[in-house]
Structure 1
Amino acid sequence: MNFNNSLELTQSQKLIITMQLKQSLNILNMSKLELEEEIKREYEENPLLEVEKSSEVDWEKYIKNIENSRPSYKNELYYNYDNDINLENIIKNTYSLYENLHLQVSLYKIDKIEKEICDYIIDSLDEDGYLRIDEKYIIDELNITNSLFEMCLKIVQQLEPVGVGARNLSECLIIQMRNLGIDNALLETIVSKDLELIGKNKYKEITKKYNISMQKCVNLINIIKTLDPKPGRVCSDEKSVYIQPDVVVEKIEDEFIVYMNESDSLKIRISNFYKEILKNSKYDESTKNFIKEKLNSATGLVKSIESRKSTILKIAKEILKNQKDFFEKGEKYIKPMKMKDIAQNLDFHESTISRGVNGKYMLTPFGIYEFKYFFSSALETNYDNLASSVSIKRMIQETIKSENKKKPLSDDQISKILNDRGINIARRTIAKYREELGILSSSKRKQY
């Protein structure tokens, strides 16, 4: 083999992502709430940042409302406004499922051991209120008898919300039925043995199995449908997640205007105090280096946020331009649109559009919509036009909504209805869209 040492010059292209670019891409990908969390985190770590909540207040309207709501008394000299109720000071106390159940057990006249067993059972429940772990494990762990465990479990099953402490769905529903005073042996048998048939809407099999009329079967099942399969969720302490629109589309004098939603947003700025330190020669180099580092970080964050706003606003304006019919007439008139088209129009990379769309919401005259809602595939029609998959889903929903509930439409029938309207769509596509909409098949939608 011949080995030679030589020098070669080659050209190649490499994309080097700087920290600034990486931060900018991450911030663009964030939702409005995620961005606020990021600002709060940076504020805690960076002393150069100043953050304030921007809230535009219509003071004229505010003062007018205060004057209109001011109570009127015959002798206002005795009225003290300082004693007026401040709704902001009213705190809503919320209890979790477990706190609620422990409190109820503490009010029962039971001995210390029984209370400890009840508390252990409560702590073993899942968030739906079920005791899904093996009861033998609890008996062995606490070294108690089966009868003592059953007695304590019965106590837990008497607590509110009704149905907690059940070991399965059937037991949960039966506990609720008995609590409501429903004493029906046949109904309890159906609940114990045939919930699967009910779930599959196989009413005829139930009528044959128990030799009852269809009307009686429907009446029994309607009782079951009034019960709560997840009683523990009533006391759920999960926090609600509120959607905040990033942009607002508003019609002003026959023209649609799109602008960023700045209300209740966190405004950040760089403190001038630290800028003065850099100019002052009496501070040592280590202090100045620290400030420079934090200043670079703060400046980078501000630039990334401004870049995010600019990109989102440009995307929103393109959506408005391409979906004029939607903003004028509503969901039925949404057109097919791809991120690739928007990227070409704005001279952006498609991945930038994807990040700018992710988790972003738009407030329109018809409500709040996610940016992604406006991007959909297209299907051909008989009129040389294209129909959006979103508008077709809306048609499927409306067609099913207006169907005869006793004779629901099959996917094939829906396909024929849409084909008659000039939309070429196959049965399997109808089935796919129906499943995406969370709509059951015709056999499961049937009502008796």
Structure 2
Amino acid sequence: MNFNHSLELTQSQKLIITTSLKQSLSILNMNKLELEDEIKKQAEENPLMEVEKSNDINWEEYVKDIEKSIRFDKNEINYNSDNDMNLENMIKYSSNIYEHLHFQISLYKLSKEERKVCEYIIDSLDEDGYLRIEESEIIEKLNINEELFETCLLNIQQLEPSGVGARDLSECLMIQMQNLDIINPMLEEIVMNELVLIANNKYKEISKKYKISLQECVNLINTIKTLDPKPGRSCSMDESIYVEPDVVVEKIGEGFIIQGNNSDNCKIKINNFYKEVLKNSQSDKDAKEFIKEKLNSATELIKNIESRKHTILRIADEIVTSQDEFFRKGTRYIKPMRMKDIAQKLDCHESTISRGVNGKYMLTPFGMLEFKYFFSSSLESENEEGVSSTSIKKSIKDKIKNENKKKPLSDDKIAKMLKEDGINIARRTVAKYREELGILSSSKRKEY
């Protein structure tokens, strides 16, 4: 075995991601709310940073202005003898399904054991208001008999919203029918046994099975459709997420002005106390090093935020330039566009564009749109530039919207209609786009 010792000089390329670059990429990828959270988080860790929100409201001054312009009725619920306006009373409070049901059951005259079981059942409901867990599990857990469980469950099923406490969809609808005094044995039988056929619009099959006319069948099913399949959602306290635009596009004359939305930006400032410590020659050396480190960190954050703004504005500007016809005429005129195309025009990497459009919104003359809305694939058409998938989806949606509901358009028919409009598209592609739009097939859209 021979061992040869020699020196070799080789070249290789390595990508080293520094902490600063990593933060820059991360910030570019964030949406507006995530960026604000990141700034607040950094401010908590960095004593040099002070954060101000440009749209903070001085509530004391706001209330004084109200008091000057509005005369209050002392009998109103918002009145407080110690302070003419109680801001806490002005906040609207919404309870969720569980609090709503617990309050109602507290008004019932129940034994201690019954109340315990009822409260346990309420807490076992899902967000739709259904009792999905096995009855035996509750009976065993609480060490009660089946009769007590049924009595307590019946109490829950009398509460509002009507239909809560049901163990399946059929029972949920039956409870609502009973509470509405809808008495119809045939309707009850259909609810108990034919929900799958109803979901698939098999009206003829149902009418044949129950030996009733098609119109009578339609009337019965329309009654069912007035009921709520998810009663618990009516008390839902789901948090609303408010989207704010990152850029605003305005049409001025024949051109467009693109501006960043700085209406509520968190402004970062450096605490003056620490600036003085750095200037003071007698300050502790370790303290100075610590301040310098935190100062660099704050400066880097500010620089990365400014870089994010600049990149987003450049992308927005290129989108508006590339989609000029859309901004002048509307959705039907949107063109196929890829992130790769924008990356080439801005001389940057495609991943930078991907991060720059992620979670970003643009306020346009046609409403609030996500940056990603403007990027779509191209399909063959008589037009050399092709047609974007976004534009085709809009055409499909419009055609279905205007169809004869008793004779809905099939995917094949829509494909032929689009071909007449100069767009070559396969039936399976129409089906794919229709499903992406959340539109049912023609057989399920049919009305009788």
* TM-score, scaled to structure 2: 0.93
> Which residue matches 2:287?
287
1-structure distance, mates of 2:44, 2:222 = 55
The 2-side partners of 1:121 and 1:443 are apart by: 40
TM-superposed CA distance for 1:113, in Å, is 0.7
Alpha-carbon distance between aligned partners in 1 of 2:96 and 2:217, rounded to the nearest angstrom: 37
User: 1:334 corresponds to which residue?
Assistant: 334
Q: Which runs of 5+ in 2 are unaligned?
A: 73-81
Q: Deviations over 1:40-90 (max 9, x none)?
A: 111122111111111399xxxxx9xx89x94699xxxxxxxx987687861
Match of residue 247 from structure 1: 247
Distance 1:254 1:393 in 2: 29
Secondary structure at the counterpart of residue 248 of structure 2: strand
What's 2:438 paired with?
438
- Counterpart in the other structure of 2:155: 155
Deviation at 1:295, TM superposition (A): 1.5
Write out aligned runs for 1:207-222 (5 A): 207-222=207-222
Letter in 2 for 1:117: V
Q: Distance in 2 between matches of 1:23 and 1:50?
A: 19
Report Cα offsets for 1:133-159 as digits up to 9, x if no partner.
Answer: 001010011111111100000001111
1:363 matched to 2:363? The reply is yes
Q: In the alignment, which residue of structure 2 is the partner of 1:18?
A: 18
Moved over 3 A (4+): 69-73, 82-89
Read off the aligned partner of 2:213 and give its amino acid letter: S
Tell me the residue number matched to 1:314: 314
Alignment partner of 1:154: what SS? helix
Residue aligning to 1:302:
302
**Partner Cα separation in structure 2 for residue 152 and residue 288 of structure 1:** 69
Q: Which residue of 2 aligns with 1:398?
A: 398
* Structure 1 residues 41-440: aligned runs within 5 Å: 41-55=41-55, 70=69, 90-440=90-440
Say which SS state the counterpart of residue 248 (structure 1) adopts. Answer: strand
Decide whether the 8 Å contact of 1:336 with 1:378 is kept in 2. Answer: yes
Give the residue type in structure 2 aligned to 1:268: I
CA distance in 2, matches of 1:265, 1:290: 28
For 1:223 and 1:290, the matched residues in 2 are separated by: 72
Q: Distance in 2 between matches of 1:405 and 1:84?
A: 58
Per the alignment, in what secondary structure is the counterpart of residue 259 of structure 1?
strand
Q: Is the 8 A contact 1:260 1:309 kept in 2?
A: yes
Matched residue SS, 2:387: strand
Q: How far off its partner does 1:279 sit?
A: 2.0
Q: Residue 72 and residue 132 in structure 1: after superposition, are their counterparts in 2 closer, same or farther (change >3 A)?
A: closer
Structure 1 residue 24, shift from structure 2 partner:
0.4
Give, as a single letter, the amino acid of the residue that structure 2 aligns with 1:247.
Answer: V
Hey, what's the Cα distance between the residues in 1 that align with 2:279 and 2:336?
Answer: 57
Q: Please tell me the residue identity of whatever aligns with 2:222.
A: N
Q: Secondary structure at the match of 2:425?
A: coil
In 2, distance between residues paired with 1:295 and 1:72? 51
Q: How far, CA to CA, are the matches of 1:385 and 1:339 in structure 2?
A: 16
Which amino acid in 1 is paired with 2:398?
Answer: E
Deviation of the 1:245 alpha carbon: 0.7
Q: 1:120–1:216: structure 2 CA closer, same or farther, 3 Å change rule?
A: same
Q: 1:303 to 1:278 in 2, by over 3 A?
A: same
Distance 2:199 2:273 in 1: 67
TM-score (ref. length: structure 1): 0.93
1:270–1:366 distance in 2 versus 1, CA, 3 Å: same
Secondary structure of the structure 1 residue equivalent to 2:244:
coil
CA separation of 1:56/1:108 partners in 2, compared to 1, >3 Å: closer, same or farther?
Answer: closer
Query: Which amino acid counterpart does residue 233 of structure 1 have in structure 2?
Result: R
How much does 1:272 deviate?
2.6
1:241 Cα offset (Å): 0.6
- Which position in structure 2 is the counterpart of 1:2? 2
The sequence identity of aligned pairs, in percent, is: 68
Partner of 1:79: none
The SS at the match of 1:269 is strand
Change over 3 Å in CA distance of 1:12–1:365 after alignment to 2? same
DSSP 3-state at the match of 1:232: helix
Supply the RMSD in Å over aligned alpha carbons.
2.1
Q: Is the 8 A contact 1:56 1:263 kept in 2?
A: no
Query: Following the alignment from structure 1 to structure 2, what is the Cα–Cα distance between the partners of residues 237 and 84?
Result: 30
* Closer, same or farther: CA 290–72 of 1 in aligned 2, 3 Å: closer
C-alpha distance in 2 between matches for 1:212 and 1:125: 37
Partner SS for 1:51:
strand
